[in-house]
């Protein structure tokens, strides 16, 4: 049962991250030159148009960092054990997809190719740690309440 739960957690985390990244791409309406909403269907066309506009890639890096963090949090909330490890898995999968993007479409600037390594893994780890810290504080609070109940009896 844990395998199914963990698989669903990873898929949901990736879906949330993809949604946030696609919303980050649509942040500036002048970047989108096509009519239909298809952030990844016209990706090559978009990258060609943005090749000499580094602010698009800065926004993409920022939205990727936010997406990795939120995707890591969502995944860590859903899984039962090894919350940080599964959040880091989200970062590795997103990094793998980003590397495929860089290999397939050669329109990315050099700073993006370098900084993408420093974005997905650490931010997904932060997402897992956020969840772990929240759960640990909640567990300590519940132990204190239980201890006070036992002392009162």
Query: Domain limits of the chain?
Result: 2-152
pLDDT value for 12: 97
pLDDT value for 34: 54
- Take residue 140 and report the two structure tokens written for it: 């300590």
Tens digits of residue pLDDT in 110-120: 899 999 989 99
Contacts of 60 (CB under 8 A, 6+ apart): 21, 24, 25, 112
Contacts of 16 (CB under 8 A, 6+ apart): 67, 70, 71, 74
Q: Which residue has the tokens 């090894």?
A: 82
Q: Is the pLDDT of residue 33 over 60?
A: no
% of the chain surpassing 90 pLDDT: 52
Task: Give the residue with greater pLDDT, 14 vs 44.
Answer: 14
Give the whole-angstrom CA distance, residue 36 versus residue 11: 25
Query: What predicted TM-score, i.e. pTM, was given to this entire model?
Result: 0.84
Give the whole-angstrom CA distance, residue 153 versus residue 98: 58
Tens digits of residue pLDDT in 55-87: 888 888 999 999 999 999 999 999 999 999 999
Contact yes or no for 57/78 (Cβ under 8 A): no
Contacts of 85 (CB under 8 A, 6+ apart): 128
> How many C-beta neighbours within 10 Å does residue 86 have?
22
Q: Which DSSP letter does residue 67 get? A: H
Cα 17 vs. chain centroid, distance in angstroms?
4
Contact yes or no for 121/64 (Cβ under 8 A): no
Give the whole-angstrom CA distance, residue 22 versus residue 39: 6
Tens digits of residue pLDDT in 88-134: 999 999 999 999 989 988 888 889 999 998 999 899 999 999 999 99
- Take residue 69 and report the two structure tokens written for it: 């963090």
């Amino acid at each position: 049962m844990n395998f199914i739960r963990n698989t669903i957690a990873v898929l949901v985390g990736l879906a949330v991250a993809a949604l946030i990244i696609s919303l980050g791409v649509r942040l500036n309406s002048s970047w989108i030159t096509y009519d239909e909403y298809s952030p990844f269907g016209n990706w090559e066309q978009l990258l060609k148009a943005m090749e000499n506009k580094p602010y698009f890639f800065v926004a993409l890096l920022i939205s990727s960092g936010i997406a990795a963090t939120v995707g890591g949090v969502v995944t860590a909330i859903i899984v039962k054990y090894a919350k940080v490890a599964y959040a880091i898995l989200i970062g590795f999968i997103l990094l793998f997809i980003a590397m495929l993007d860089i290999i397939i479409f050669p329109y990315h600037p050099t700073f993006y190719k370098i900084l993408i390594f420093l974005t997905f893994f650490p931010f997904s780890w932060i997402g897992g740690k956020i969840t772990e810290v929240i759960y640990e504080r909640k567990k300590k609070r519940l132990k204190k309440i239980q201890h006070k109940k036992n002392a009162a009896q």
